Amino acid sequence: MTDLWEFFLAFVRLGLISFGGTNVAEIERVLVLHHGWIDARTLANGFALGQLMPGPNMLAVTHYGYAAAGLPGALTATLGFYGPTALVSAAAVLIWQRHSAHPWVIAFRNALLPFGGGVILAGALVLARTSVTSLPAALLAGAAFLLLWRTRVNSAVVVLGAAVLGALLGL
Amino acid sequence: MTQAEAALPPEDEPITSAQAAPTPLSLARLFVGVALSGIGGGLPAHTRRALLSRGWMTEEAFAETFTLAQLTPGPNAVNLAAMVGARLAGRMGALASVLGVLTPGLLAMLVVSVVTLGQPGGLPPLLQSALKGAACAALAVLLTAALPVVRVGWGLRGGPAVTVLVFLALGVLRLDLLPVLLVGLGAGLLIHRPGGKP
């Protein structure tokens, strides 16, 4: 049985170093190769399941925690991965608001917004490379985009519909 | 801060109910809804839709918060919830939002873990195909969230150049975020430095 404190610290560290999204390579290095808490199969399955769960994609950490140490492990992993980073974020935004009239903060904001646009477009490209691997997949993504852009249909309905289509087409 | 009151109607969605300032409880409810609709990813996009349709945030305030969330370490959908919560209802708002966005998936994942870890082998092929389909739609959701953010940054001086260069550096060249961040923000700060041209 793993030492929960060591387990907790490992997930705190993984949360804090997953900059701008997820860091699957590092998660694998720590959990599978270094500690041997889970195997590669569990890593892949948990990641796929995380995509399907309601909520953040990296709920895979809950799965890894459960696989390694049951319910206490699952809760420890989730709290460690998400807690500290959420605290940092809330503190950052409150500091940001307190000084929002400062000329340098305004300058920083103006510098930040175009940067954010580039980051999110880059993320879309990276995601497209992994998920749009065939013509049907590209058409599906295009149809979903038009639907979301032009109508007010709930996005969950679009995602679930695409999942059903994906299963039918055997993507 | 008057963003909540000064909400402009976005082009694509009429404001259904311009309510008073949101409470931690109403934020928790909003984020439970965001989590439930965020199957396959795209939580920031769902968050944007939910906030704008309630008139709790302007397009610009959301773009700003979203970008800040990208810069903090960690899973950014949850960071975004923490930031939106803190911004609209202080510390309790942040806590309520994070709990709201995490709880549905946490419970679902626990149930699924108990079931799947009990059976040998991986996921059935049908489920894998379904996951791929969901991923395509998730990409579309991400794009609908990306365009408003890009539009806000595009209107600033030097914005288009920075956006395109950052996109190429991170998306095409796959450079590290940190050096790109330093160069991109440095250039922006230089262009917009106080005392420079308005």
Q: Which sign does the torsion angle of CA A48, A50, A56, A62 carry?
A: negative
Q: What is the total count of domains within chain B? A: 1
Whether B101 sits inside 8 A of A137 (CB atoms) is: no
Domain around B102: 3-124
Q: Does residue B82 lie within any of the structural domains?
A: yes
In 3D, which of A80, A79, A5, A73 has the Cα closest to residue A38? A73
Whether A56 sits inside 8 A of B77 (CB atoms) is: yes
Q: Does residue B196 lie within any of the structural domains?
A: no
Amino acid at B123: L
Higher pLDDT, B116 or A96: A96
Rg (CA), chain B: 19
Position A111 pLDDT exceeds 70: yes
In 3D, which of B78, B94, B54, B150 has the Cα closest to residue A115? B150
Least confident window among A72-81, A84-93, A115-124, B35-44:
B35-44
Neighbours of A11 (CB within 10 A): 25
Interface membership of B183 toward A (CB under 8 Å) = no
Q: Give the minimum alpha-carbon distance from B58 to chain A in angstroms, rounded to a whole number.
A: 15
Residue B171, judged by CB atoms within 10 A of its CB (0-12, 13-18, 19+), counts as buried
Q: Does residue B17 lie within any of the structural domains?
A: yes
pLDDT in tens, chain B (198 residues): 333 333 333 434 444 444 567 999 999 999 999 998 876 567 888 899 899 989 999 999 999 898 888 777 777 789 999 999 999 999 999 999 999 999 999 999 999 888 877 766 666 788 778 878 887 887 887 788 788 888 888 999 999 999 999 999 988 887 877 788 889 889 999 999 987 655
Can you tell me the distance from the alpha carbon of B103 to that of B32, in angstroms, rounded to the nearest whole number?
A: 7
Mutating which of B62, B64, B111, B113 best tests the A interface, going by the most A Cβ atoms within 10 A? Answer: B113
Amino acid at B115: V
Q: Give pLDDT, residue B14.
A: 41
Q: Give pLDDT, residue A127.
A: 72
Q: Does residue B74 lie within any of the structural domains?
A: yes
In 3D, which of B96, B28, B112, B39 has the Cα closest to residue A62? B112
Q: Does residue B195 lie within any of the structural domains?
A: no
Query: Cα–chain-centroid distance for residue A27?
Result: 12
- Please say whether the beta carbons of B148 and B48 come within 8 A: yes
- Please say whether the beta carbons of A121 and B171 come within 8 A: yes
State pLDDT tens for residues A14-64: 888 765 555 666 778 888 888 999 988 788 778 777 777 888 878 889 999
Can you tell me the distance from the alpha carbon of A33 to that of A27, in angstroms, rounded to the nearest whole number?
A: 9
Distances (CA, A) of A23 to A20, A29, A149: 9, 10, 30
Q: Does residue B61 lie within any of the structural domains?
A: yes
Q: Does residue B190 lie within any of the structural domains?
A: no
